[in-house]
Structure 1
Amino acid sequence: MLPYPRSFSHIGLSVPNLEEAIKFYKEVFGWYILMEPSDVQNDDSPIGQMCRDVFGDDWDTFRIAHLSTGDKIGVEMFEFPQNEKPENNFEYWKTGIFHFCIQDPDVEGMVEKIVEHGGKQRMPIREYYPGEKPYRMVYVEDPFGNIFEIYSHSYELTYSDGAY
């Protein structure tokens, strides 16, 4: 028996400043706060133990907040005290996650808003099927170095007819 497709729950982002990141994602994408910023300690509380399981013993504290997208996907934001921005934040050839994608039919307007709020446009807006379908995409970056993509249409619509 084949497994059924599971739903996506949330993504975790590491940011240098929780308040600035929340402001950016609220103002640019309209995401809303589920849990205000709070401190997590490396202690014997349930959350302290859980985070120790994930991060190991070599941490004292960090801050966390939870946001949600319009389609109920969680965005967990972490601010670690000794955070550092990597020299190259786009090592796409390395195994692991190198971007996420947000959907909005107004790709141009989104890029404008991202740039106005301190982010970057990393490439020109491109069409997937020029002259055939209006599917557009662009890679961008938030002010904190997290790279993501903007799609004009759903993932399923964009790829449902097969390869390019």
Structure 2
Amino acid sequence: MPMTLLNHVGVTVPDIDAAFAWYRDVLGLYPHRPPEEVVDDGSHFGDLVTDLFGPRLHGMRIAHLTAADGLGVELFEFTDPATEAADETFAYWRTGIFHFCLTVEDVTATAAAIAAAGGKQLSGVWRLFQNKDYEVVYTQDPWGTVIELCNRPYTAVWANHEPPTNA
């Protein structure tokens, strides 16, 4: 089987217009398609999303942005049934995706910008390894999605590094 590329992540938000602007302006993602309505109307795309999400879905809005490396970020606002906030936004102990990570030049400045724009900084800025300047921080968008920030690409950090020790 050929190597698989990570194509995109999907993020559910309660206000897609605000989230689209926030991800564009605060995180610097490139806007490809602004928010648009999709309804269960018998059209090809309407049938497609009904098949993906099930017969309970009758309406939603979707928008598309990308990171500099081409990773897509799809934003979803479900309108029928309406989007509901999660009971616990940082439920890392539950199965499934609990965060996604963006590579940024300045972890500290980006975390501060997220907090200043209505998000949160969830952790301190940490060096992954004491002898390397690989920095990480956990943040959260204003709607509860956890976004890790790292100042190096994933492969630069993990491809040739010894496993961390607890000593």
TM-score range, shorter chain: over 0.9
Give the match's secondary structure for 2:26.
helix
Paired position in structure 2 for 1:16: 14
Give 4+ residue runs of structure 1 displaced > 3 Å after superposition: none
- Deviation at residue 92 of structure 1 after TM alignment: 1.1
- Deviation at residue 79 of structure 1 after TM alignment: 0.5
Give the match's secondary structure for 1:29.
coil
- Deviation at residue 55 of structure 1 after TM alignment: 1.0
2:41 pairs with 40, 43, 63, which one?
43
Aligned residue runs from structure 1 range 4-153, under 5 A: 4-81=2-79, 82-130=82-130, 132-153=131-152
Q: Deviations over 1:69-115 (max 9, x none)?
A: 11111111110121111121111111111100001120001011101
Count of matched residue pairs:
161
Tell me if the contact between 2:20 and 2:35 (Cα under 8 Å) persists in the aligned partners. no
Equivalent residue letter for 2:157: T
- Deviation at residue 4 of structure 1 after TM alignment: 2.9
In the superposition, the TM-score normalised over structure 2's length comes to 0.92
Give the match's secondary structure for 1:37.
strand
In the superposition, the TM-score normalised over structure 1's length comes to 0.94
Equivalent residue letter for 1:22: F
Q: Deviations over 1:104-133 (max 9, x none)?
A: 120001011101110000011111111x11
Counting aligned pairs with the same residue, the percent is 35
Unaligned runs of 5+ in 2: none
- Deviation at residue 13 of structure 1 after TM alignment: 0.6
Equivalent residue letter for 2:101: C
Q: Deviations over 1:25-44 (max 9, x none)?
A: 11112112111211101121
- Deviation at residue 65 of structure 1 after TM alignment: 0.8
2:105 and 2:35 map into 1 onto residues whose CA distance is 31
Q: Deviations over 1:128-153 (max 9, x none)?
A: 111x1101101100001111100111
- Deviation at residue 162 of structure 1 after TM alignment: 2.7
Unaligned runs of 5+ in 1: none
Give the match's secondary structure for 1:5.
coil
The two structures, once aligned, show a CA RMSD in angstroms of 1.0
- Deviation at residue 161 of structure 1 after TM alignment: 1.1
Equivalent residue letter for 1:133: K
Equivalent residue letter for 1:128: L
